[in-house]
Structure 1
């Protein structure tokens, strides 16, 4: 029998503000878990072609609810409003099957902040998509994001059991979390000397020459060119897929840039897009890329402060800042230092 809980006043979050996408939902759910705060999301994805909650968003809601035995209203496909009242977070062992090619890393993004500061360790198994456009790839999670979270005190390790490419899915990843009593602030203002650039192409059930063409474009387009490049042919999982990954390792930080093959898009175009993102990052001289900056905002907020230099903040990042500021007595400050060189700082209000 569900325990009776005192009624809480809902914190109302407008899901159409700023960038207006699913990140508003995931950040709000993550902070609701961390702070035990009841939330009411309205106008969820109102400006999207298919507004409201889609299956990948419902997967995050259901996972967050299970983690905290939450009381939930409005968790239905297409719903434009959601009420979520969490109980105490319960660390432990969980398996979440998204049921589609929806991103496992985005579901993890919702759960990890609470589990990274929970009183006990946890183990998660997530099934669905692991290499999705518009979502952090597994390589980004493993080699860019989690090392910085470990630097802040939470020991988190992830293992790719099998890749799952959009739209077939079928991927699986495992995550082990040894939490910190509190996260430490992070300052990333310099990236230090460049230590190396490596290129990696994953290909599943597609001709090998696609990967070879992509590596050739990266070798011609990057200066310095990748010192290593290899192809990984994937046989596990469902359906075809292709991912181009470039790892830029510097003394203070490793950044990951990823592009995904699409039907009808030449391999050269996919690789050229990744190369362009890498060149922009190298030319700016900043340590943190635009997507990693977005991912670090919530850990910085839970740590109570920090600073980073990054590329011009995206609308996605600015929206994420606004949602976080609704929950916590903190304020972000964005300051332009030079062209495509910005400092983001966080301090108490």
Structure 2
């Protein structure tokens, strides 16, 4: 059984999620301690509990020490992943982070995996659902991962209540080379509100468009169904692989600031010499490892990415070669 130190590197929940995914791929059991030790509220939160429960149900895994705020866990899958499951995080915990556990396991899945998840679709410290669909899933489709999502209802902090349907099919990850970036032809996006005046979404959109004045733009305004109130904007480039950015509204934060924040962050991503943005730089790590011989250039090397690479190397017989410094553009290779 592999032993994983949950305090390594950035010491957050991604260590657990990646360990769960690759344990299910390799059928190697693991014991993790110091779970989320570097966070203000260490141990398993509701989202992490549900991630473990989901992966256990998909693979009939043996689990020990699964309880809220536990800092240790043992997990050993018995079967290849398959199933049709409904799961409720019970809070505004991120649906997208939970779904990250499933994506690598499609490379060994026996059959379709269909999941209905209730929780948070647009919450802090995680990719919004529009980023997940238009950037994460879009890029993974290009390398052979057969997955898609449908968002039925939005979920915001603190009530949650969002609903996303995930569908994945058995997949074979292709080797890939994403080392060249391309200038965007257009900026796409969605500015949205739930249970708030639609004018907020229009103001977010205008603020973003003013900053992105040199680009062609196609930013739509949407009013989404939800239990609670929420607002935000997600932007991404068109031409080559999409680069993305987002910003969430919150009490006291003007709509103009939400829009400008997302636009300025996207311009930063565009100006850097990378084929994928900093967030996909992290999310592509396990797929590069599973492909066995791939490389890609990220706009910014983050501690998340370095930590994720460390976890993947524990499970797979590979080594990452990273050319670049943290906070700068970097080329990530597996061979």
Matched, 1:346 2:334: yes
Q: Any idea what SS the aligned residue of 2:150 has? A: strand
| Aligned 8 A contact 1:219 1:226 in 2 | no
Superimposed CA distance per residue, residues 267-318 of structure 1 (whole angstroms, 9 cap, x where no aligned partner): 2222222122111111113220000111111111111121111122111111
Task: Report the counterpart of residue 280 of structure 1 in structure 2.
Answer: 268
2: CA distance, partners of 1:166 / 1:18: 27
CA shift, 1:85, in A, is 1.2
2: CA distance, partners of 1:308 / 1:11: 28
2: CA distance, partners of 1:293 / 1:218: 24
Q: Any idea what SS the aligned residue of 2:310 has? A: helix
| Aligned 8 A contact 1:218 1:226 in 2 | no
CA shift, 1:172, in A, is 1.0
57-66 vs 209-218, greater mean Cα deviation: 209-218
Superimposed CA distance per residue, residues 218-269 of structure 1 (whole angstroms, 9 cap, x where no aligned partner): 12212424522321012x221000111112111x212231111112222222
51-60 vs 159-168, greater mean Cα deviation: 159-168
Alignment of 1:30-179 (within 5 A): 30-179=21-170
Q: Any idea what SS the aligned residue of 2:14 has? A: helix
Query: Pick from 251, 256, 262: which aligns with 1:263?
Result: 251
Task: Report the counterpart of residue 220 of structure 2 in structure 1.
Answer: 230
| Aligned 8 A contact 2:301 2:324 in 1 | no
Task: State the 4+ residue runs in structure 1 displaced beyond 3 angstroms.
Answer: none
- Any stretches of 5+ residues in structure 1 without a counterpart? 1-9
- Any stretches of 5+ residues in structure 2 without a counterpart? none
Quote the RMSD (CA, aligned, Å).
Answer: 1.8
Query: Pick from 15, 18, 24: which aligns with 1:24?
Result: 15
Matched, 1:220 2:210: yes
Task: Report the counterpart of residue 243 of structure 1 in structure 2.
Answer: 232
Q: Any idea what SS the aligned residue of 2:28 has? A: coil
